Amino acid sequence: MKTTAKLGIAILVLAILTPLALFSSAYFKAGPGWGEGELTKGPKLWKALFPNYTFRGWENKGLLYSGLSYAVSAVIGIAFCLAAALLLTRLLTRKKR
Amino acid sequence: MHIPDGYLGPGTCAFFYAVMLPIWLVASRMVKKALKITQVPLLAIGAAFSFVIMMFNIPIPGGTTGHATGGVLVAILIGPWAACIAVTVALVLQALLYGDGGLTAIGANCFNMAFVLVFTGYYVYRFISGNSPINSRRRVAAAGIAAYLALTIAAFFTGVEFGLQPLLYHTSGGTAFYAPYSLKVAVSAMVGEHILVFSWVEAIVTALVIKYLQKQDPALLSGGI
């Protein structure tokens, strides 16, 4: 198997494991990144698809739900990253072909 | 390390967009000029890897969380300019899709993680590696040290950006409009938690993947642009 394919599979495995990070943060009662959680004022400029990697309406349904939406968000994010990066590099290197 | 909306004043946000604009232009030009067709999938995988590794928030018990970025690893594989593009893609999508990092702070967040981190990591790695063979242990150590230093320095810059806000934007009475922490508090918090925890994670992840690739596909380690 090509290395890039192996790395791709590894990234998908990582995506499925992301809820572990969420669970351990909850277990150790650790909040968001330093300085990121305190301010709530200020205008909302943009409505994210799934704020904080959580499906809308699943915010208070418990860890299992947030874990599931976290992992699905990871997979969706990976798909967007691959598509955006491939599209961008294709546009940039178009003349070479 | 993802600065949200409302933490940096408008001038600071504009400043970092203005700084990043020429960097993004040069990076695009470098990718256009030098990226080999065979490296295109690697850039895309680099963006996806950076995206997902940043979701692994590591808790400091009772405190905050932080994460590795994967940016140094990507820079070692495809070079700093292409890595700048890859990490930028990840950061922009995190902000747009998940509100992780503010839209107004994309310039600053990209400056910290897609520029400072990526370039520091790449050149520290190159400096320590010297002319050592691709499969040498020295390169594994170089990757780890580069990752550790790069994330710590990126955290320092983030701390400075936070810490300058109360000096730049405050009421006549001294109340901060945006991020309220003093420079000293912000820098020591950001640098301290990275020195103690998160930079180690970046170092270990980077070194392990480099070690794996030395065995698996050493050609990947000699092709950065």
Q: Does A57 touch chain B (CB under 8 A)?
A: no
ipTM above 0.90, yes or no: yes
Q: Domains of chain B, with CATH numbers?
A: 10-222 (1.10.1760.20)
Q: Which of A4, A12, A47, A81 to mutate to test the interface with B (most CBs of B within 10 A)?
A: A81
pLDDT of residue B137: 97
pLDDT at A39: 64
A15 Cβ under 8 Å from any chain B Cβ: yes
- pLDDT digits 0-9 by tens, A66-93: 999 999 999 999 999 999 999 999 999 8
Is the pLDDT reported for residue B166 higher than 90? Answer: yes
Q: Which of A7, A14, A20 to mutate to test the interface with B (most CBs of B within 10 A)?
A: A7
Q: Confidence band (pLDDT; 50, 70, 90) for B224? A: confident
Is B5 within 8 Å of A18 when comparing Cβ atoms? no
Taking an 8 Å cut-off on Cβ atoms, the answer to whether A82 and B44 are in contact is yes
**B26-52 pLDDT tens trace:** 999 999 999 998 899 999 999 999 999
Residue found by looking up tokens 């949200």 in the block: B4
Give the integer Cα–Cα distance in Å for B207 and B146. Answer: 9
CA distances from B108 to B88, B156, B161, B204 (A): 11, 13, 8, 26
What's the pLDDT at B38? 87
| A16 vs B: CB within 8 A | no
The reply to whether A68 touches chain B by the CB within 8 Å rule is no
What are the chain A neighbours of B179 within 8 Å (beta carbons)? Answer: 35, 39
Q: How many CB pairs below 8 A link A and B?
A: 191
Span B145-149, mean pLDDT?
98
Least CB-CB distance to B64: which of A11, A31, A41? A31
Regions in chain A scoring below 50 on pLDDT: 97
Taking only Cα atoms into account, the Rg of chain A, rounded to an integer number of angstroms, comes to 17
Query: Is residue B199 within 8 Å of residue B207, measured between CB atoms?
Result: no
